[in-house]
Amino acid sequence: MSEDAFLEAYDPAAFERPALTVDLVLLGLLEGRPAVLLMKRSWHPHAGRWAFPGSFVGLDETLDAAAGRVLQEKAGIAEGSGTRLEQLYTFGAVDRDPRMRIVTVAYLTLMPEAAFTQSLAGGAGLSAAVIEVPWTGEAGGPVAAYLAGDWDERAPLSFAFDHADILALAILRLRGKLDYSDVGFALLPEQFTLRQLQDVHEAILGTPLNKPAFRRRMLDRGWLVPTGAREAGTSFRPAELYRFQKPL
Partner DNA sequence: ATTAGTTAGATGCAAGTTAGATATATGGTG
Partner DNA sequence: CACCATATATCTAACTTGCATCTAACTAAT
CA-closest candidate to residue 40, choices 160, 194, 200, 181: 160
* Cα gap 38→28, rounded to integer Å: 12
Whichever of 118 and 193 has its CB closer to DNA, that residue is 193
Residues 188, 25, 190: CA angle, nearest 5 degrees: 15
* Cα gap 202→63, rounded to integer Å: 32
Residue ranges binding its own copies (CB under 8 A)? 1, 3-5, 7-8, 10, 12, 15-20, 39, 41-44, 53-57, 59-64, 74, 87, 89-90, 92-94, 99-101, 103, 105, 124-125
Whichever of 134 and 233 has its CB closer to DNA, that residue is 233
Q: Which does 139 bind (CB under 5 to 8 A by kind): DNA, its own copies, none?
A: none
Residue 136 makes contact with DNA by CB under 7 A:
no
Nearest distance in Å: CB 241, DNA: 8
C-beta atoms surrounding 109 within 10 Å: 30
- Cβ proximity of 170 and 133 under 8 Å: no
Q: What is the dihedral of CA 70, 76, 78, 82, to 10 degrees?
A: -100
- Interface with DNA by CB under 7 A: which range of 67-75, 114-122, 136-144, 191-199? 191-199
Nearest distance in Å: CB 147, its own copies: 17
Residue 132 makes contact with DNA by CB under 7 A:
no
* Cα gap 135→143, rounded to integer Å: 8
Residue 202 makes contact with DNA by CB under 7 A:
no
Q: In what order do the strands lie in the sheet with 240-244?
A: 191-192, 240-244, 224-230
Residue 154 makes contact with DNA by CB under 7 A:
no
Measured N-to-C along each axis, helices 194-205 and 163-178 cross at an angle, to the nearest 10 degrees, of 130
Whichever of 92 and 176 has its CB closer to DNA, that residue is 176
Whichever of 39 and 209 has its CB closer to its own copies, that residue is 39
Q: Which does 239 bind (CB under 5 to 8 A by kind): DNA, its own copies, none?
A: DNA
Residue 215 makes contact with DNA by CB under 7 A:
yes
Residue 32 makes contact with DNA by CB under 7 A:
no
CA-closest candidate to residue 128, choices 24, 23, 30, 22: 30
* Residues of this chain that bind DNA (CB under 7 A): 193-195, 210-213, 215-217, 220, 230, 234-240
